[in-house]
Structure 1
Amino acid sequence: MVTVAIVSPGAMGSALGRGYVEGGARAIACAAGRSERTRALAHGLELADSLEEAVGAADIVLSVVPPGEALAVAGMIRRSAAAVGVSPLVAELNGGVGP
């Protein structure tokens, strides 16, 4: 079974995650520091207590954040992967990291 980590399980990320679950994958999202509203949106996803936990469990990491946050989040994903010794496939899905 493929495990997909969703970075930022808001409305769009959570919907993607549920689609992966419906397709037979395991979807995990980092809920640390997220609001109760975001946690509610993430229903159907497995919630991790840290980004390291989510990235460490994933074969694929999907970053679904506003474009202005994409570069910073990419760095957080890189550091999390290094901290737990994994090299998942990472995709940024929300508009790139340009100016």
Structure 2
Amino acid sequence: MGLDSLLIFLSYMMILKTVLSIVSHAECLRALITCVSHLCAVLLFYSPEIGLPVIHRFGKRSSPLLQIFLGYISLLVPSLMNPLVYSLKSKHLLARIIRVFIK
């Protein structure tokens, strides 16, 4: 229990060490942007997965609708946001996404 979080943390430390050892500043920045977008996708997946058991355990007086809502978030948000997180690196796609939310 919790071994996956520990292994993910250790792998990110190794990836970060490798990325920061790249000599070229432009390539280092490019690799770091890719790592950050992947880290955001992982956090989007794990946040509801951690929040749901915490609310179930410690939120005995909380509304059942909150647990249902968080359950839906844990199912829908990672699958819907994953392509969005990775597409934010593209300037063309980012401009179109911003245009959709501004209108």
The structure with the largest alpha-carbon Rg is: 2
TM-score norm. by structure 2 comes to: 0.25
More helix by share: 2
More strand by share: 1
TM-score norm. by structure 1 comes to: 0.26
Larger RCO: 1 or 2 (CA < 8 Å, sep 6+): 1
